[in-house]
Chain A
Amino acid sequence: EVQLVESGGGLVQPGRSLRLSCEASGFTFDNYAMHWVRQAPGKGLEWVSGISWASGNIDYADSVKGRFTISRDNARNSLYLQMNSLRVDDTALYYCAKPKTATPGSLDSWGQGTLVTVSS
């Protein structure tokens, strides 16, 4: 059974940093690209970032480009999101998600999310 467990969220002041982690199990992690998707309270879904299986291809939403860095450690079956210069509008539940094998952007497994609150 695929499991994705996010951690690292919390309350942080504007301008500070936070690092999210996602531990994966139940599938061959290094065969898959991985993604972060967020959802602000009461709002819709926003794709944040994606990374290919070997970290050769990385993409970001314009809203986080230059502030967030996605990375992965295939030996640890883990995905990360380093978030710097956090803003109030980064407040959201952050999900990590795994795509289907043959359709890279179709996200068939999601974690439970970790909540990031940016407030002074």
Chain B
Amino acid sequence: DIQMTQSPSSLSVSVGDRVAITCRADQSIAGYLNWYQQKSGKAPKLLIYGASSLQGGVPSRFSGSGSGTDFTLTISSLQPEDFATYYCQQSYSTPYTFGQGTKLEIK
């Protein structure tokens, strides 16, 4: 199975901050990397697919980059509604493993 490691596991940030979350695969997954946002008590929401493609309806302050084993989710200017937990997921091969999550908290 492909192991996905996110960092950091939590981050204290302020509205307006630029935020970067990284995700590393233990083998190459080309560009088969997705990012999800999950708010408390809600189902996950797809933000980025194929490492860098923005899902429809997702604000342009979210962006994704990377290929191979190293990936980054960037939020250019954090908004109040962005405080949530973010997960990466590889869709290169089953089982489609997720990272352990990164929780954004208000500083």
Contacts and interface: CB of A to CB of B under 8 A. Distances in A.
B98 interface: yes
Interface in B41-87: 43-46, 49-50, 55, 87
A46 B50 contact: no
Contacts of B98: 44-47
Contacts of A104: 91
Contacts of A111: 43
Contact of A112 (B32, B43, B91): B43
A60 B95 CA distance: 7
Contacts of B45: 110
B95 A103 contact: no
Given A44-B87, A45-B87, A108 B94 contact: no
Contact of A47 (B46, B50, B97): B97
Nearest to A107: B46
A62 interface: yes
A40 to B, nearest CB: 12
B44 A110 contact: yes
A111 B38 CA distance: 13
Most chain B CB neighbours (cut-off 10 Å) among A35, A107, A110: A107
A44 B46 CA distance: 15
A45 B90 CA distance: 12
Interface in A82-105: 95, 100, 103-105
B22 interface: no
Given A45-B87, A46-B98, A113 B43 contact: yes
Given A44-B100, A110-B44, A111-B43, A62 B95 contact: yes
Interface of B: 1, 32, 34, 36, 38, 43-46, 49-50, 55, 87, 89-92, 94-101
15 contacts: A44-B101, A46-B98, A47-B97, A47-B98, A62-B1, A95-B43, A95-B44, A100-B46, A103-B49, A104-B91, A105-B94, A106-B91, A107-B44, A110-B45, A111-B43
